Structure formats: structure tokens, C-alpha cells
Amino acid sequence: MTILIKNANEVITLKDHVQGPRTKEQMRDIAIVENGSVLIEDNRIVAVGAFEQLVVDFPDFIKNAELVDAAGKVVMPGLVDCHTHLVHGGTREQEFNMRLNGSTYMEIMNAGGGIHATTKRTRETSFEQLYKKTMQHLDVFLKHGVTTVEAKSGYGLDWETEKKQLEVAKKLQETHSVDVVSTFMGAHAVPRDYKGHEDDFVELVIQEMLPKVAELELAEFNDVFCEKGVFTPEQSRRILEAGKARGLTPKIHADEIEPYKGAELAAEVGAISAEHLLVASDEGIQQMAEAGTIAVLLPGTAFFLRAPFARGRLMIDEGVPVAISTDFNPGSSPTMSLPFIMNLACMHMGMTLEEVLTATTINAAYAINRGAQIGSLEADKQADVILLDVANYKQLQYFYGMNHTNTVIKNGRIVVQNGILLEQ
């Protein structure tokens, strides 16, 4: 099938000049084609450029193409949400109310709530129920222009439930339009019954769970919550090294609540990304820049926990490649609106209107090892394209807290039109 997206006010191509995660001023090079068109054949992008030029270069494609009128709109790559806890049972609005009344995130977690509460609900939820609930989440993401989502496990903290979460994600990768990229996060918290002998749980993750994740090919990445009161840097290092030995690329929840040298550890173990970094140290940022570790920043969590925002501006200027994400999860960031996260990144992390576009497309794609396939609009890349009801890209953050997504083309197929989700 051939699609021609015609005469957009702006096509934000994010053309990937550097063939890798963008840093410093590269993050502001979004490579706009004014009054541009995008030609798609099957699931690939054929070309981007002026309609008149495409007619000359590709006459056969053009004559059979289905026309999508983009006049008055902005066209850009499908958004990539590279850090979510997508698959989980239940909700935690009752804890939200407790936090509004003064309890902290860690107080609630240490009292058996937080991750432990969601773990209990996820253990109780059947595969089918979890599958249906998660499918609805992906529908919401798609309507917000998100075409690829990273999904972490971590609400089982026992093998059966970790496996259940990862199998739900794997089945949705096969059945839903949105691409799902899986991360094993068995080291999300220490189960209550391991209090006092936490290292036994670390051994369970290393000896029992990681080998099965690798053998069953249930995840590409291995993540750990390196945090005071959760996993120490030493325990985190052992878990990440064990994952590497099984072919799982390391990621790390680092320096979220308390400074804990998580950024330093990410650089040391060669993690593809360090995530959160609300209170990362200057040294940690420097070491990440030198190691090329991608910073995945999650301003929705800072907003929802009323915590300090990560120093995104400094990280970009120091040469750290930055991506941003919703951190969608039932406790610290229950939102699927990546557009709102982009606005928070501008308002509270000093990022520019151009940098947040890079941070939710090509850099986010590299954070999940998909930079060669998605994240920019150029020949031979996967045809994940969105049309936005704004006159120019600056309006995307200016008219904030809204969903401007009009049309979503996923893998060369129109799956959302005029904001309506079409039959899958």
C-alpha cells in the first residue's frame, strides 16, 4: 500500500545525521522540511520532500498513492516512550490521596504500599485480565501519538508473575499496533518476606530469574531500582553484570529519591541508559557523558511526587544524550500523555522546544536500541508517522496539556484518524 502525506506546514524529520544518540547542539537540529510531503510504501518511508519533487522522482508510487492531506498540520516521527511500567494490576489513587495529605513515596512503600501494593494486585490478576487492561493502555498511548513503548516487568518479584508480565508484553507486541520493547525488572523492590536477608533475593534474581528470561527470550534489557532502602549500588552492579552475562543490556533506575551514585554505576557497567536522575551528582553526569550513557528523564514523576526535576539542561550541555518519557506506572507517574511530559521538560528542566522533540523520537529510540529503525523520517526507516493539529512545532508545547494528535500511521497503516482509533 502506498500513502502520500501531502503538503504539511512542517515535516519534522529529525534526519539522523550523526547515526547515534544526539548530544549538545545536535539535539536542536530537528531538520524541518517546510511545506513538505512524505511518501510511504508498505511499511517503509520512501522519501520526504516537496510534493513537486516527489512527483518527478517517484511517478509510479505517486499515481497509486492514498492521499493524506496534511495542509495546516505538522508531521513528525511517531513518539517513542522509552520508560514505562506498562503491565501492572490495579491502581493506587488511594496512595495519591495519602501523599496529598503528607505521606512520602518511601513511607508508603515501607508501610507495604507502593510497589508492594501493585505487586499484590498483579499477582492476583489473571493473564487474560492483565492482557485486556494493558491493551487499553496501549490504545491510549496510540491516540497520543506514541507508536513504540518500552515495558518493564517488576510487579511480580516472584518468577511466575514476572513471567506473566513479560508474556503479556510479548503477546501485545504480536497483536497490538504499538510496538512493545520489553525490559526485565525483577529487581524492582525486595519482597517483604526477604526483609533482613535481601541478598537472598538478589541471588534469586541472578540464579533463578535471569537465566529463564534469557532462555525464553522474554526481554532485551535488565533494569534495577538502585535506591536507598531498595537495592544498593553493589547489589545493583551484581544484578546488571549477571544480566549482561546472559545477553541482557543494562538499564538502571538511578538517583531518583536520594543521591546514591546510580549515574556513576550506569557509566561503570556500560548501561545503555540511566533513568530518573532527579538527584544525580555532577561527577555522575560527567561520567555518563564520557561513557555515552543516555539519560532517560522522567519529569512526570518529579511533578507527581513534588520532587526536584532532573538537571536536563546541564546534562545536555555537558554532552549527555537525553531522552524523556512518561514513566507510566500506577504510583509515581500515572499518565500516558507524553505530550504533557514534553511540556514539563521545557518548563522545569530548561529543555528547548526542539530538544524535547529529539528526546521523544530519535534519542528515545536509541535508548531502546531502535535508533536504526525508528525515530526519524528518512528513506528506508519504518513508517511510523504522526500528523498533529498545530500550525507549527512550537505550538505543540505552547498549547499544553492537550492531545494534538490527529492521525497516526503505524508501520505504513493508518491506525488513528481525526483522533479516532480505527479497528485494529
Binding positions for Zn ion, rule: CB under 5 A: 327
Phi-psi region of 278 (alpha: psi -120 to 50; beta: other; left: phi over 0): alpha
- 328 interacts with ligand IZC by CB under 6 A: no
Nearest 5°: phi and psi at 310?
A: -60, 150
313 residue type, one letter:
R
> Which grid coordinates belong to 68?
493524506
- 363 interacts with ligand IZC by CB under 6 A: no
List b or e across 297-307, with b for residues whose CB sees 16 or more CB atoms inside 10 angstroms. Answer: bbbbbbbbbeb
- 382 interacts with ligand IZC by CB under 6 A: no
Select from Zn ion, ligand IZC, none the partner in contact with residue 225, using the beta carbon and a kind-dependent cut-off of 5 to 8 Å.
ligand IZC
CA–CA gap between residue 212 and residue 158 (Å, rounded): 12
* Binders of ligand IZC in range 332-351 (CB under 6 A): 332
Select from ligand IZC, Zn ion, none the partner in contact with residue 77, using the beta carbon and a kind-dependent cut-off of 5 to 8 Å.
none
* Binders of ligand IZC in range 68-127 (CB under 6 A): 85, 114-115, 118
- 137 interacts with ligand IZC by CB under 6 A: no
Query: Other CB atoms closer than 10 Å to residue 319's CB: what's the count?
Result: 15
**In the complex, minimum distance from the CB of residue 6 to ligand IZC, in angstroms, rounded to a whole number:** 43
**In the complex, minimum distance from the CB of residue 326 to ligand IZC, in angstroms, rounded to a whole number:** 12
Query: Other CB atoms closer than 10 Å to residue 224's CB: what's the count?
Result: 31
Report the residue number, 88 or 261, with the smaller CB distance to ligand IZC: 88
Q: For residues 406 and 419, is the Cβ–Cβ distance under 8 A?
A: yes
Select from ligand IZC, Zn ion, none the partner in contact with residue 355, using the beta carbon and a kind-dependent cut-off of 5 to 8 Å.
none
Burial class (CB in 10 A: 0-12, 13-18, 19+), 417: middle
**In the complex, minimum distance from the CB of residue 70 to Zn ion, in angstroms, rounded to a whole number:** 35
Report the residue number, 255 or 327, with the smaller CB distance to Zn ion: 327
Report the residue number, 242 or 296, with the smaller CB distance to Zn ion: 296
**In the complex, minimum distance from the CB of residue 87 to ligand IZC, in angstroms, rounded to a whole number:** 12
Select from ligand IZC, Zn ion, none the partner in contact with residue 114, using the beta carbon and a kind-dependent cut-off of 5 to 8 Å.
ligand IZC
**In the complex, minimum distance from the CB of residue 230 to ligand IZC, in angstroms, rounded to a whole number:** 8
CA–CA gap between residue 239 and residue 249 (Å, rounded): 11
Report the residue number, 68 or 157, with the smaller CB distance to Zn ion: 157
Block residue for cell numbers 502520500:
4
Report the residue number, 10 or 223, with the smaller CB distance to Zn ion: 223
Q: For residues 270 and 251, is the Cβ–Cβ distance under 8 A?
A: no
**In the complex, minimum distance from the CB of residue 59 to Zn ion, in angstroms, rounded to a whole number:** 49
**In the complex, minimum distance from the CB of residue 302 to Zn ion, in angstroms, rounded to a whole number:** 12
- 325 interacts with ligand IZC by CB under 6 A: no
- 304 interacts with ligand IZC by CB under 6 A: no
Using DSSP's 3-state secondary structure scheme, residue 14 falls into coil
For CA atoms 212, 218, 219, 223, the dihedral sign is negative
In this chain, which of 329, 343, 361, 376 binds ligand IZC, going by CB under 6 A?
A: 329
Calculate the alpha carbon distances from 66 to 2, 3, 48, 54, 85 in Å.
6, 5, 16, 14, 37
* Binders of ligand IZC in range 245-284 (CB under 6 A): 253, 256
Q: For residues 13 and 32, is the Cβ–Cβ distance under 8 A?
A: yes
Calculate the alpha carbon distances from 194 to 164, 197, 202, 204, 238 in Å.
21, 5, 10, 11, 18
What are 336's strand-pairing partners?
none
- 376 interacts with ligand IZC by CB under 6 A: no
**In the complex, minimum distance from the CB of residue 325 to Zn ion, in angstroms, rounded to a whole number:** 9
- Determine the interface stretch with ligand IZC among 61-69, 314-322, 323-331, 373-381 (rule: CB under 6 A): 323-331
**In the complex, minimum distance from the CB of residue 96 to ligand IZC, in angstroms, rounded to a whole number:** 11
- Determine the interface stretch with ligand IZC among 2-10, 158-166, 328-336, 348-356 (rule: CB under 6 A): 328-336
Within the chain, what is the greatest distance between any pair of CA atoms? 71
What are 3's strand-pairing partners?
40, 66
For ligand IZC, the binding residues (CB under 6 A) are 85, 114-115, 118, 225, 253, 256, 329-332
